[in-house]
Structure 1
């Protein structure tokens, strides 16, 4: 009897007698979403039954990350999601990328991403933001997961068991996007709620989850060459919206798998959705307004036209002989060449060369990312440390990509290129193992510099007069805008690594007791000293509330007849928390001061 999972084994007695904990992993992706769970056994159960009639088969690894609203679709009585969304429905897809749209594009990002919102692909319904739409979609995912658990577990077992939800996220994600993902999950019902107060949300990066799945199997798989201590393994996670590349150094495989990040990972927003955008560009150039004017329900994600293209993407590279393909689409154009359109069949015709033109720019970006990562790894260790490349993610299953990677790197001695079975589910499988066994990278590399804007004593001959000011409390000439970096890009850190930063605010009687400190980041190898440098990015403001704090414990002095306090405290910044976000704690006189939280910068780059 199928219960919507693979390798399902239930031992309700042992589950009830253990820690009463259920692990659920959720891989919310740009194009598809997957989930898995474990109970007291060591099996990871991939959910492979998803609601909707749009499935090609009864059992599928993931469901489309799309949602349709009834107020925009008269035929719908309620929201539809995943495979329930049918061709012709007005729906919203690729919303995940909008969670990170305030991050500037890098040289590795899809150059057409900025134009995507203008083409009607990454749109939002009226009155909703990206977090709201993602939360609506994840609400349906939550309800489906709980339905699967209720079918497989006794009601009393599910009721007494806390659920750990492990969400995956791109390692390249900005801090705001990480927090937005977590907020959307909370709104959707994941984590603590009145009827389930002990449930929790943790987060893990997608390449680390992929590494856990692939390396765990590689230590026991007798078919492939097993990993061993000292091996360098490059994990290339090619998803729908993002590509993440991280390299791990294997510390040991027995009695327990142990590994750490070898160098700072890299990546970009150049996943398989970039193929779709390249394809749209080709169609637009070939058919002009005859294609551009078509509604999204006919050519957007989930349409019959794009579902056919999705099938072509998966299989491209398997055939050795050039051929042509037909995609169903009725268009009106009297000037379309017959080699591009079959008017009688109502089909667009594309060739293998057309698909190569669509694939090559994206594949070339991924190849460049891998080369950059290997160069960085060779700086940390001796050349040749990387002896294995593992391709995972939906796009990681592409035969065309595998051949390109093999052609570029396969000639190097002792370099193995592998794709695990079912690479689409590798990430959610690894996230579940993380929760079950506690396997994780023992050390990570910071992806960027983090620091604060500082005021220091003015340095004659060094500082610019335009940045100077007179500090009445210290009765000294100061300079503002100096960055004090508390952790550097590439710096190794462990879980829950924290950094204490001493901060002081001059408080005049007329000032607010809510004090703010601005947090900045920089992606350069060598971070500059001043905040106005274009490479320094404002992340947000950390607010600390002193309204309930006794000020008499702080230093003070009388200035112009008024008592002025120097509010000094230590700001503890926690990196690598299981919650998956930066955490802050203000400490003064040995006590936690009020509530410390960050207000992220607003803005949009695409």
Structure 2
């Protein structure tokens, strides 16, 4: 099959260009699920799962390393290293600590999470390129750009997502375009596209549970529109935990070793009675069921169905336990395992990636996401002695009055953030003309998790407030002749620079752009804390 075809007159130039690309998506998840193999969707689209090569493991030998199935059974290896990219998720590793893999190297042992992830992604890229040599003629492969799509958990911090992108770039995945997409969002796109028999209606609300080898992530979506494409919006912020099927494997292994370890004739294929098997499943199932029921409880709308995807999500016992718990809660929701649910993340990532390059191919669109935190910036305000503590005021020579720094929260926790509706932060800076115009300015974006739902803090030095990112704008591109001037209360002349930082939230990354006098000066540098 040729990777080119004659372009119909009705096709746009961008549509034709989109055909001449190889798009590869992979689910950078944790765990080991050997039955999942890369699926070659069409000749120019390639979906792969790292489990095809033996799971997300890497072992070092001198200056080199082996990965996946290359690692011999008794060799110590690094596992779950992706999670170390986001220290905020380490508090969720309870079950993995209780049931450790005896061959797993300690976290951070000898190698940083960044190096482990970069080396692993490098090996994965080379493996994919090797596989493509068997799918495409050499001439087509050498002349066609390859674009990569990486998936990450929805609960990851912005910094962890940026670190993942940095590792992917170091691994050689950014020679052309590189996309990063939320795992449960990708799974929802694929699952809802495949579930046409569910008779989806506007307003229907679903809980999506992505249960994989290492992590289980849950998120709730509501159908906002049916045509021209199915549009969904996050109804409840996502939650997750380390309670995937890898924990089950470790519990089975521990059980067999304790019960049959002294018998020279036992092996991993020995099966036990149903009661004992249920006891092995219980802690993992309990954690997963709790994630699902919490989503149902937090949703302000009735749940039509719970959709199970991921390798562990195809487990019949898991489905039955979730259905039983839902029934006890008097919730009339179905529990559904869609077709090919174990590859929903990687296939959904491909669908989203293609929709970016070829909008006419969009089948399901996530039009809005629920903010998991408060986001704001600190700004100067007039001091009010009846509202503000005197200890916080400062004198402004320009204004000739007392001022106070307060946080303006431009996104509140739980707000729906639209991807196609950027947030614009109106900022201004001043500098004395005798000192020359400002060349660079830094705006700090703050966040508050507000775990107790106590409301937004007023001041940036409150314990609940953290600096998320420093946005550094280069103003040297703006000619001084375009800057208005004004005399301050102190009699000095000042340049007044009014500008906007435009923030656009995508599936798993954020774009910051500088706008002055309605001219977009492009992306600005963002340094995550």
Indicate the TM-score class for this superposition, using the shorter chain for normalisation. Answer: 0.7 to 0.9
Q: Which residue of 2 aligns with 1:280?
A: none
Q: Distance in 2 between matches of 1:600 and 1:202?
A: 18
Q: Which residue of 1 aligns with 2:344?
A: 426
Q: Which residue of 2 aligns with 1:20?
A: 20
Deviation at 1:272, TM superposition (A): 1.8
Q: Which residue of 2 aligns with 1:572?
A: 502
Listed as ranges, the matches of 1:110-125 within 5 Å are 110-111=93-94, 121=105, 123-124=107-108
Q: Is 1:129 the equivalent of 2:88? A: no
Q: Is 1:342 the equivalent of 2:262? A: yes
Deviation at 1:11, TM superposition (A): 4.4
Q: Is 1:82 the equivalent of 2:64? A: no
Q: Number of aligned pairs?
A: 500
Q: Distance in 2 between matches of 1:513 and 1:547?
A: 5
Secondary structure of 1:144's partner? helix
Q: Distance in 2 between matches of 1:471 and 1:274?
A: 59
Relative to structure 1, is the Cα distance of residues 176 and 352 closer, same or farther in structure 2, using a 3 angstrom cutoff?
farther
Q: C-alpha offsets along residues 183-239 of structure 1, whole Å, 9 cap, x if unaligned?
A: 111111113x2xxxxx311222111211122112111x5xxx454444322111123
Relative to structure 1, is the Cα distance of residues 464 and 29 closer, same or farther in structure 2, using a 3 angstrom cutoff?
same
Q: C-alpha offsets along residues 142-200 of structure 1, whole Å, 9 cap, x if unaligned?
A: 11112222211122323333333222211111111111111111111113x2xxxxx31
Deviation at 1:484, TM superposition (A): 1.0
Bigger shift: residues 180-189 or 445-454: 445-454
Q: Which residue of 2 aligns with 1:332?
A: none
Q: Distance in 1 between matches of 2:6 and 2:392?
A: 63
Q: Which residue of 2 aligns with 1:498?
A: 422
Secondary structure of 2:256's partner? strand
Secondary structure of 1:432's partner? helix
2:77 to 88, 91, 99: 91
Q: Distance in 2 between matches of 1:547 and 1:96?
A: 39
Relative to structure 1, is the Cα distance of residues 463 and 251 closer, same or farther in structure 2, using a 3 angstrom cutoff?
closer
Q: Which residue of 2 aligns with 1:398?
A: 315
Q: Distance in 2 between matches of 1:514 and 1:351?
A: 69
Relative to structure 1, is the Cα distance of residues 599 and 230 closer, same or farther in structure 2, using a 3 angstrom cutoff?
closer
Q: Is 1:260 the equivalent of 2:244? A: no
Q: Which residue of 2 aligns with 1:289?
A: none
Q: Is 1:435 the equivalent of 2:353? A: yes
Q: Distance in 2 between matches of 1:239 and 1:136?
A: 23
Gaps of 5+ in 2: 9-15, 355-360
CA contact 1:14–1:40 (8 Å) conserved in 2: no
Relative to structure 1, is the Cα distance of residues 343 and 545 closer, same or farther in structure 2, using a 3 angstrom cutoff?
same
Listed as ranges, the matches of 1:490-569 within 5 Å are 490-507=414-431, 509=435, 513-524=439-450, 525=453, 526-547=455-476, 549-551=478-480, 553-557=483-487, 564-569=494-499
CA contact 1:229–1:251 (8 Å) conserved in 2: yes
CA contact 2:31–2:246 (8 Å) conserved in 1: no
Deviation at 1:399, TM superposition (A): 3.8
Q: Which residue of 2 aligns with 1:283?
A: none
Deviation at 1:567, TM superposition (A): 3.5
Q: Distance in 1 between matches of 2:6 and 2:273?
A: 55
Deviation at 1:373, TM superposition (A): 1.8
Q: Which residue of 1 aligns with 2:292?
A: 370
1:272 to 237, 241, 244: 244
CA contact 1:27–1:35 (8 Å) conserved in 2: no
Q: Distance in 2 between matches of 1:11 and 1:172?
A: 41
Q: Which residue of 2 aligns with 1:212?
A: 189
Q: Which residue of 2 aligns with 1:282?
A: none
Q: Is 1:469 the equivalent of 2:399? A: no
Q: Distance in 2 between matches of 1:543 and 1:200?
A: 24
Say what the alpha-carbon RMSD is for the aligned residues: 3.8
CA contact 1:444–1:494 (8 Å) conserved in 2: yes
Q: Distance in 2 between matches of 1:179 and 1:15?
A: 39
Secondary structure of 1:168's partner? strand
Q: Distance in 2 between matches of 1:239 and 1:190?
A: 24
Q: Distance in 1 between matches of 2:266 and 2:384?
A: 74
Deviation at 1:61, TM superposition (A): 5.1
Listed as ranges, the matches of 1:116-265 within 5 Å are 121=105, 123-124=107-108, 126=110, 128-191=111-174, 193=175, 199-219=176-196, 225-251=198-224, 257-265=229-237
Relative to structure 1, is the Cα distance of residues 488 and 516 closer, same or farther in structure 2, using a 3 angstrom cutoff?
same
Secondary structure of 2:459's partner? coil
Deviation at 1:556, TM superposition (A): 5.0
Secondary structure of 1:443's partner? strand
Q: C-alpha offsets along residues 251-297 of structure 1, whole Å, 9 cap, x if unaligned?
A: 5667x650312512221233327837xxxxxxxxxxxxxxxxxxxxx
Q: Distance in 2 between matches of 1:523 and 1:36?
A: 39
Relative to structure 1, is the Cα distance of residues 229 and 549 closer, same or farther in structure 2, using a 3 angstrom cutoff?
closer
Q: Which residue of 2 aligns with 1:67?
A: 58
Q: Normalization by structure 1: what TM-score? A: 0.72
CA contact 1:23–1:39 (8 Å) conserved in 2: no
